[in-house]
Structure 1
Amino acid sequence: TQLDRVLELARQVDVDFLAQTALYARRKGFMKDMPALLCAVLATRDLDRLAEIFPQVIDNGKMLRNFVQILRSGVTGRKSLGSAPKRLVRQWLERANKRQLVNASIGNDPSLADVVKMVHPRPADAARQAFYAWLVGKPYDTAALPESLRAFEAWKLSKQGEVPDVPFQMLTALDLGEKEWSAIAEKASWQTTRMNLNTFARHGVFRDEAMVKRLAARLADPDQVRRAKVFPYQLLVAFLNADQSVPEKLREALQDAMETSIGNVPEIDGKVVICPDVSGSMQMAVTGYRKGATSRVRCIDVAALVAAAFLRKNREARVLPFEVNVVDIQLNPRDSVMTNATKLAKIGGGGTNCSAPLAKLNAEKATADLMVFVSDNESWADPRVNRGTAMMVEWEKLKVRNPNARLVCIDLVPNTTAQAPDRKDILNIGGFSDTVFDLIAAFAAGADGSDHWIREIERQPLNQHMKLA
């Protein structure tokens, strides 16, 4: 399995590189499970390095619960936390502020209450003592609770007055009517609004036209979009997940937000060619199959988003969708990102031949300064020849016409093979987040593609080795 492969590789690297990989995965890759897993591995190999990186990697309640769950699962070789990891968890609880603790109380397997029962933190004051008691279901001093929790407990009884400032999930767990749901929607943050359009629709919030207008204005507001630091991918998810009960005005607001969010898509000097894979295998969910949690966003949706976003910011860019052959399609760079992405995602079908776009350019004797492929790399229609993959053969032909050309291959699924190996002019990117656009910009500006990821990971700072745990 992928987990077995990660654990095998983790055993093969030194503890410093393991710690740096955990730091990079969390701070740069914005990953959740992988950095928590690497910290759990580090707990079995070097407690000093774990103590050093723990506050930087385990930076919120969700990450804390991930770490505890993985460690206690036994996959890293131990099923108990042990004294040093327990101490690190206690320190996290002691250093967290009231807001962080209330936010951390959301979620299960384990819940924060389970974690508290495992590590037995000592409350520093009456407020922390009341919070822990409230969390684990013991009698508590209401007056000592954080103000937001006092308001929440009062609101639970009356459902009157201002909606308390607590995590959205705490409110939605209650038995609420349309009036209460409308009050929650009125006060919701930008991100909470984006993530809960179907929930609001299901509870009748959108029957109020004035409310729909206010929420649409919130979603489309460029300043709020920038403050929320929303990524194009997150907006694509919201757009695709919005069901038919979500008013069109709100769907249009998501498209407006998308136009604001593509600010980090680079404008590239020279000729840009974007090659989204539209073959049959790209119909799979981008997260893979996960029982009860399979994403509705397919690989082809992400490939289409990358192509459409690049075209929006690089109006002269050429888009060459491919399966066995290049698919002829006309895209208007003035159309919205969502419009063009939807148009591309509707193609779908056929085998995968990653060399097809390059072969087309070579047949036309065309040139390119930057080519970006977005694929799952399942190129069964692209047989290997003596000099490597057919894609590499075609790439070398193009390089004769433009020796400075650069190639980016975004592999949306965790393959261990590549159609084009890393080297100075070739960069492979595994998986997708919106930081991909920054990586492409740096590479197009001259960054070296060979051993790129190792160099990035090794840039993560570590202290000179010392006893900390």
Structure 2
Amino acid sequence: MANFRLFGTRRTPPPADTRNEAGGRAYARRPKDALALYAATGCLNDVYYADAQAQLEQALALCAQVPAAFVAKTAIYARRRGHMKDMPALLVAWLAQHDGERCARVFDRVIDNGRMLRNVVQILRSGVVGRKSLGSRPKRLVRQWLERASVDELLNAAIGQRPSLADIVRMVHPKPQDSEREALYAWLIGTPCAPDRLPAVVQQFEAFKRGDVVGTVPEVHFQYLTASLGRSEWKTVARRLSWQSLRMNLNTLQRNGVFEDAALTARLAATLRDEAQIRKARAMPYQLLAAWNAGRADLPPAIRDALQDAMEIATDNVPHLQGNVVVAIDVSGSMASPVTGHRHGATTAVRCVDVAALVAACVQRKNPSARVLPFDTVVRAHVSNPRDSVITQAQRLASLCGGGTTVSAPLAQLCRERARVDTVLIVSDNESWCETQQGRGTETMRLWSQLAAYNPRARLICLDLQPYATSQTVAGERVMHIGGFSDAVFDLLAATANGAQDWVAQIEAIEV
């Protein structure tokens, strides 16, 4: 009789085929899955286990392994849904070198503001995609962008350097449609122009700089004006800010004395918590967490309270998930890394663990019966108070951060309990190493197979927050991989939990 220990019926995970950056057993992602994850999470900054150069090289290698059509669709997804900047610009630059026709099709859908225009031009000129000049087709696309842009778009695009908008205008020589646009291009590059032919807002700005007008602030971006604004002018600027601009510039307003005006502070607080404006801005929790974490300690209580109120409104956008829901969040040491990575002078205050904790708090807010299991090498004790604000709950979870990484820990606990589950969400950077040294496969995959055996309709959703090319699970019919830290993750979570096509298939469905 055959050896039963060797040939008995058992549920064994597929053999691990690689090691992750932390040294543990792992599964290599398929090229399309990996490129999608890099596009949704990679900011081309240094992260915990990889530097910016390694990310760049990996992203370019992945582009060469998938069809150019998928690169184009991924660029659109990363920009439109993931709200990324550098990575979609890199993908467009890669297309410019390898598939100019598709580059032309997606250019305007990805390069949708001046910051993105400067990004793609700089990447093309750097030579990383194989060229150090724009080339005829990219030059034409850039020229068309400039010629179609409104005056306000061009003025906003002119904020920033390396390259500046003036550099770009000199490179591509856009053709002015009329005398106003001719004067504006000349003004942008610093050459003589007819002042009376400049757009009215530019004429107002020039008059403001000369001191010809008093008490009237031109309607240009406040970064044009910072050297010239007094306290009363800053108050005028504050009243004009859109909801998003207000959220992003609270510290600037505080530094310039705007909040010393109690009536104006109350007005701005009312704007921040205004439900209609929050809906119009399509504000989601991550943006408000970033504002809260970046906010100075001396922001007025009314403003901080308004941010918390706005968070409560924004969490209504989080989907309801059916059945028994478990959210396992990684609170290990590597999750203390800034979610967008380290870059000198531009490192976010939001860490991976903050985003993971926020996802858990939001899901539990919309799904009160959901269990939250924070883990490092073991599941950490945690008691949540559903009456606390989402921000407070997220901060309490994030405070557990530290220790090694055992992604299988929450699944082990659920298996010991023989828990009944419908959706298990694991939010992690996936750099598990403490339990991955034994066996052929990963412990996470083995325990999921065991848990799924008595939960035949359950789904495992792995939300990855960092650009690494490995995972602790193999994607399949009941194991879904999604990535990102923008607000789009909630839509992806709802779609996958309710049985929709997987993440890569959703990207594939984008029309190019």
CA distance in 2, matches of 1:427, 1:13: 20
Deviations 1:268-309 (A, max 9, x none): 110111111111221111112112211111111101100000
1:401 CA displacement:
1.7
Instruction: Provide the residue aligned with 1:467 in structure 2.
Output: none
Q: Do the aligned residues in 1 keep the contact of 2:375 with 2:409 (CA within 8 Å)?
A: yes
Q: Which has the larger displacement, 253-262 or 154-163?
A: 154-163
Aligned to 1:381: 434
Q: Separation in 2 of the partners of 1:132 and 1:222?
A: 40
C-alpha distance in 2 between matches for 1:19 and 1:282: 31
Unaligned 5+ segments in structure 1 are 463-469
1:458 has 2:489 as partner: no
- C-alpha distance in 2, partners of 1:10/1:221? 43
The one-letter amino acid of 1:369's match is D
Cα deviation code 1:102-122 (max 9, x no counterpart): 221111111111100111111
Cα distance per residue 1:371-415 (max 9 Å; x no partner):
111111121212254352111121112112211111111111111
Runs of 4+ in 1 over 6 A off after TM superposition: none
Q: d(CA) in 1 for partners of 2:156 and 2:288?
A: 23
1:102 equivalenced with 2:152 (yes/no): no
**Under a length normalisation based on structure 1, what TM-score does the superposition of the two structures give?**
0.94
- C-alpha separation between the residues in 1 aligned to 2:454 and 2:203? 70
Match for residue 12 of structure 2? none
Residue deviations 1:202-249 (CA, integer Å, cap 9, x gap): 111222222221111111111111112222111100000111121111
Q: Secondary structure at the match of 1:275?
A: strand
Q: Please name the residue that 1:240 is paired with.
A: 293
Within-5 A mapping of 1:40-79? 40-79=93-132
Q: Residue 150 of structure 1 corresponds to which residue in structure 2? A: 203
Q: Distance in 1 between matches of 2:251 and 2:112?
A: 30
Identity %: 55
Q: Paired residue for 2:223?
A: 169
TM value normalised by structure 2: 0.86
Deviation, 1:41, is 1.4
Q: Mean Cα displacement is larger for which, 135-144 or 189-198?
A: 135-144
Quick one: which amino acid aligns to residue 205 of structure 2? Answer: F
Correspondence list, 1:270-281, <5 A: 270-281=323-334
Structure 2: which 5+ runs fail to align?
1-53
Aligned ranges 1:208-223 → 2 under 5 Å:
208-223=261-276
Query: For each residue in 1:122-163, what CA deviation from the matched residue of structure 2 results, as whole angstroms up to 9, or x when unmatched?
Result: 111011011111111122223322222222222333363343
- Asked if the contact 2:82/2:484 (under 8 Å) is kept, the reply is no
Query: What is the 5 A alignment of 1:106-185?
Result: 106-158=159-211, 160-172=214-226, 174-185=227-238
CA contact (8 A) 1:198 1:245 kept: no
Quick one: distance in 1 between partners of 2:388 and 2:70?
45
- Alpha-carbon distance in structure 2 between the residues aligned to 1:19 and 1:215: 40
The answer as to whether partners of 1:151 and 1:164 remain within 8 angstroms in 2 is yes
Larger RCO (CA within 8 A; separation ≥ 6): 2
Between Structure 1 and Structure 2, how many residues are aligned?
458
Contact between 1:255 and 1:338, CA under 8 Å: does it hold in 2? Answer: yes
Contact 1:414 1:431 in 2 (8 A): no
Report the counterpart of residue 396 of structure 1 in structure 2: 449
SS at match of 2:59: helix
Equivalent in the alignment of 2:72? 19
- 1:430 Cα deviation (Å)? 2.6
Distance 1:47 1:395 in 2: 44
* Match status 1:323 vs 2:376: yes
Pick from 335, 340, 360: which aligns with 2:413? 360
Aligned CA distance change for structure 1 residues 384 and 267 (closer, same or farther; 3 Å): farther
1:252 aligns with 2:302: no
**Whole-Å Cα distance in 1 between the matches of residues 482 and 82 of structure 2?**
11
The whole-number CA distance in structure 2 between the counterparts of 1:331 and 1:23 is 38
Aligned-residue RMSD, C-alpha: 1.6
Distance 1:186 1:415 in 2: 43
Alignment map for 1:296-445 (pairs within 5 Å): 296-386=349-439, 388-445=441-498
Deviation at 1:20, TM superposition (A): 2.5
Does the 8 Å contact 2:238/2:246 carry over to 1? yes
Q: 2:468 is aligned with what amino acid?
A: N
After superposition, give the CA deviation of every residue in 1:38-93 in whole Å (9 maximum; x if it has no partner): 22112222222222222222222111111110000111111111222111111111
8 Å contact kept, 1:384–1:390? no
For residues 213 and 139 of structure 1, the distance between their equivalents in structure 2, rounded to whole angstroms, comes to 45
1:286 is matched with 339
